[in-house]
Structure 1
Amino acid sequence: MRLVIARCSVDYAGRLTAHLPEAVRLIMVKADGCVAIHADGGAYKPLNWMNAPNRLVEGDGEWTVVNPKGEQLTITLHEVLSDSSHEMGVDPGLSKDGVEAHLQELLAANTGTLAEGLSLVRREYPTDIGPVDLMCRDADGRLVAIEVKRRGEIDGVEQLTRYLTLLRSDPAMADVQGMFVAQVIKPQARTLAATRGITCVEVDYDELRGIESNELRLF
Structure 2
Amino acid sequence: MLKADGSVLVHSDGGSYKPLNWMTSPCTVAAREADEAEREAGIEQVWTVKNTKTADQLVIKIADVFDDISHDLGVDPGLTKDGVEAHLQELLAAQIELLGPGHRLVRREYPTAIGPVDILARTPEGAAIAIEIKRRGEIDGVEQLTRYLELLNRDPLLAPVTGIFAAQEIKPQARTLARDRGIECLTLDYDAMRGIDDVDNRLF
Q: Please indicate, yes or no, whether the TM-score normalized by the shorter chain is above 0.5.
A: yes
> 1:98 offset after TM fit, Å?
5.6
Partner of 2:104: 119
Alignment of 1:44-59 (within 5 A): none
> 1:182 offset after TM fit, Å?
0.5
What is the number of equivalent residue pairs in this alignment?
A: 123
Structure 1 gap ranges (5+): 1-95
Alignment of 1:197-216 (within 5 A): 197-212=182-197
**Superposition TM-score, scaled by structure 2 size:** 0.56
User: Aligned AA for 1:110?
Assistant: Q
| Higher Cα Rg, which structure | 2
Superposition RMSD in Å? 2.2
Partner of 1:147: 132
Distance 2:95 2:149 in 1: 23
* CA distances 1:42-62 after superposition (whole Å, capped 9, x unpaired): xxxxxxxxxxxxxxxxxxxxx
Pick one of 118, 141, 157 that aligns with 1:172.
157
**Superposition TM-score, scaled by structure 1 size:** 0.53
Distance 2:152 2:199 in 1: 42
User: Aligned AA for 2:114?
Assistant: I
Alignment of 1:12-31 (within 5 A): none
Give 4+ residue runs of structure 1 displaced > 6 Å after superposition.
none
Q: Which has the higher strand share?
A: 1
Pick one of 75, 85, 89 that aligns with 1:100.
85
User: Aligned AA for 1:115?
Assistant: G
Structure 2 gap ranges (5+): 1-80
User: Aligned AA for 2:98?
Assistant: T
Q: Secondary structure at the match of 1:162?
A: helix
User: Aligned AA for 2:159?
Assistant: A
Q: Secondary structure at the match of 1:130?
A: coil
**RCO higher in 1 or 2 (8 Å CA, sep ≥ 6)?**
1
Alignment of 1:30-45 (within 5 A): none
Q: Secondary structure at the match of 2:84?
A: helix
Pick closer, same or farther for the CA change 1:217–1:201 going to 2, 3 Å.
closer
* CA distances 1:154-193 after superposition (whole Å, capped 9, x unpaired): 0000000000001111222220110110011111101100
